Amino acid sequence: MVFRLGGDEFLVICPQTDLAGSLLVAERLHQAIGALKVPTGDSHWRGSTSIGVAVRTPDMAHRMRRLHRSRFQCSSRSRKVGSPAPMLAAPLGRAELVGPYRDSCPQGDRPSQGALRRRIIRAQSSVMRLRNRILTGVLALAAFAAVSMAFVLSHDSPCAAPDSLPAGTQGMRAIVYRCYGSADVLELEVIAKPIPTDNEVLVKVRAASVNPLDWHYMSGTPYIMRLSSGLGTPAQTRLGVDFAGIVEAVGQDVQRFGPGDAVFGARNGALAEYVVVREDGLLVHKPPNASFEQAAAIPVAALTALQGLRDKGRIQPGDKVLINGASGGVGTFAVQIAKAFGAEVTGVSSTRNVELVRSIGADHVIDYTQQNFTEGAERYDVILDNVGNHSLLDTRRALQPGGILVVVSGPKHNQWLGPMTRVMKATLLAPFVSEELPRLFTALNLDDLQTLGELVREGQVTPVIDRQFALDEVPEAIRYLGTGRARGKVVISLE
């Protein structure tokens, strides 16, 4: 008879027989149901006329159904149905009769207890072997999938040849890349000039700017981003996002813009002589007090700074705000935007950029070659971290209790995940610390672009431009940006 003791523990009883008999039942039961974890005599129960053996098997109910179809099925014809149940239930307290198995009770010669144990151990080993084989198979499959995925993600296909321009098509110059790699993969080509549809605006680009984002797209790193940017070769062959220029033509439904308007915005493929943008896309009028180069410097970097400080950092007037990486494209906007929100701003930069950071309004500047801000006594309400060169635990030490560390970037040396490793660490750490560790993914948002245009128009923010390059010098510009030493924005001028 088999009694459920609770969970996956069962008691096998051979009424009016001894331990060896019950062990034999347990073994047969094991052969019938295919799993038996504790078939030892140590866990036996001795009643007045019977001896039981405890067995443990997962998913017993399912296996019992199989058992009912097996030769151990005893059915209600058993003479011993239920007879030991009261005896067992009392001392065990939680025993529940699962089923009587009269046929399993040995009647004739029985093997010795040692022989039974050996047979049980042999049976157990075969089950373990089967389990190990299944586990090994699953692990091998997972490893194969991971290696295949790694190969597919990191594989660089050769550059395809440029398409020839159909006869009679009006052309324009644009930066194109048809494979991943260094800045050498960037080509200045003549491609078809876009024609605006009814709700589109054609802009003659006067200036564009480059961002670390362009460098990531060009190199196809971290590899994980190729899931969206294209496996082997880039899905989009055009580079650049930020631009400023003059509207050359508009579709017949366009209301907000007209030919001759000075505009700036964000659009894939901005490193070109022309772009088309939907009227409701990322396009706003250029502040009159900004040059095309300054306006082109705004979109990605300034949106990052604004959303990092206002939305993620929730900065308030009087807050103590630290900008790590204050002299770069994002940092130079962040210092000025934080000041515009009335914060007390500390910028972190190298020695050569201390004066630059001070000149754009920082109240304090920490030269990171002289001082590690995570080890100082000062505590900040908000830290905007554009670098990620200190551990999250160290960086949060510089926060006031309940302060906010906005994770904008992280180290790039991991080819597979790049800055995502820091984002993942922050996600894992966040539930266990009292400070907030929000991660920022910049949204290309029209309202925010208009807000930034206003801040520039009011003179509260002035884009900082480091170097300017011509369109055919984009590879050089991207190489310079890739050094990580830019001071403000790197701009492409198409004047």
Ligand X SMILES: NC(=O)c1ccc[n+]([C@@H]2O[C@H](COP(=O)([O-])OP(=O)(O)OC[C@H]3O[C@@H](n4cnc5c(N)ncnc54)[C@H](OP(=O)(O)O)[C@@H]3O)[C@@H](O)[C@H]2O)c1
**Strands 200-210, 242-250: pairing kind:** antiparallel
Single residue of 233, 294, 304, 374 touching ligand X by CB under 6 A: 304
Q: Which stretch binds ligand X (CB under 6 A): 65-73, 240-248, 289-297, 483-491?
A: 483-491
* Structure tokens, 138: 């699953």
Helix (H) or strand (E) holding 91: helix 85-92
Using DSSP's 3-state secondary structure scheme, residue 45 falls into strand
SS3 string, 94-145, reads: CCEEEECCHHHCCCCCCCCHHHHHHHHHHHHHHHHHHHHHHHHHHHHHHHHH
d(CA 224, CA 74): 59
Decide if residue 328 touches ligand X (CB under 6 A).
yes
Output 84 or 313, the one with its CB closest to ligand X: 313
Decide if residue 453 touches ligand X (CB under 6 A).
no
d(CA 306, CA 321): 13
The residue assigned the tokens 């030490």 is 397
State the CB neighbour count (10 A cutoff) for residue 85.
Answer: 17
Single residue of 294, 349, 395, 493 touching ligand X by CB under 6 A: 349
Single residue of 237, 353, 374, 395 touching ligand X by CB under 6 A: 353
* Structure tokens, 239: 């580079």
Q: Which stretch binds ligand X (CB under 6 A): 13-21, 69-77, 172-180, 481-489?
A: 481-489
Single residue of 327, 346, 374, 395 touching ligand X by CB under 6 A: 327
- Reply yes or no: is the peptide bond before residue 222 cis, omega within 30 of 0: yes
Spell out, one character per residue from 154 to 193, where the chain touches ligand X: x when CB under 6 A holds, - when not: ----------------------------------------
**Strands 187-192, 44-46: pairing kind:** unpaired
Output 13 or 295, the one with its CB closest to ligand X: 295
Spell out, one character per residue from 412 to 441, where the chain touches ligand X: x when CB under 6 A holds, - when not: ----------------------------xx
Instruction: Tell me how far, at minimum, the Cβ of 303 lies from ligand X, in Å.
Output: 8
Chain-centre distance of CA 53, in angstroms? Answer: 51
Instruction: Tell me how far, at minimum, the Cβ of 347 lies from ligand X, in Å.
Output: 9
Instruction: Tell me how far, at minimum, the Cβ of 205 lies from ligand X, in Å.
Output: 20
Single residue of 78, 350, 414, 451 touching ligand X by CB under 6 A: 350
Decide if residue 282 touches ligand X (CB under 6 A).
no
Give the residue from 78, 83, 17, 29 showing the smallest Cα distance to 56.
29
Instruction: Tell me how far, at minimum, the Cβ of 423 lies from ligand X, in Å.
Output: 8
Decide if residue 406 touches ligand X (CB under 6 A).
no
**Are residues 421 and 409 in contact, defined by beta-carbon separation less than 8 angstroms?**
no
Single residue of 5, 51, 330, 461 touching ligand X by CB under 6 A: 330
Instruction: Tell me how far, at minimum, the Cβ of 225 lies from ligand X, in Å.
Output: 11
In whole angstroms, how far apart are CA 493 and each of 113, 210, 293, 298? 91, 11, 7, 14
Decide if residue 298 touches ligand X (CB under 6 A).
no
Tell me, what amino acid is at 494? Answer: L
Q: What is the size of the binding site for ligand X (CB under 6 A)?
A: 30
Output 189 or 242, the one with its CB closest to ligand X: 242
Decide if residue 487 touches ligand X (CB under 6 A).
yes
Interaxial angle between packed helices 113-154 and 19-33, expressed in degrees from 0 to 180 and rounded to the nearest 10: 30
Decide if residue 329 touches ligand X (CB under 6 A).
yes
d(CA 349, CA 64): 71
Decide if residue 387 touches ligand X (CB under 6 A).
yes
Output 191 or 330, the one with its CB closest to ligand X: 330
CA atoms within 13 A on the CB side of 145: 6
Output 54 or 384, the one with its CB closest to ligand X: 384
Decide if residue 209 touches ligand X (CB under 6 A).
no
Residue 67 phi/psi, 5-degree rounding, is -60, -35
Decide if residue 374 touches ligand X (CB under 6 A).
no
DSSP-assigned letter for residue 64: H
Decide if residue 485 touches ligand X (CB under 6 A).
yes
State the CB neighbour count (10 A cutoff) for residue 384.
Answer: 31
Decide if residue 348 touches ligand X (CB under 6 A).
yes
The residues that touch ligand X, with contacts defined as CB under 6 A, are 211-212, 300-301, 304, 324-325, 327-331, 348-350, 353, 368, 386-387, 389, 408-409, 440-442, 481, 484-487
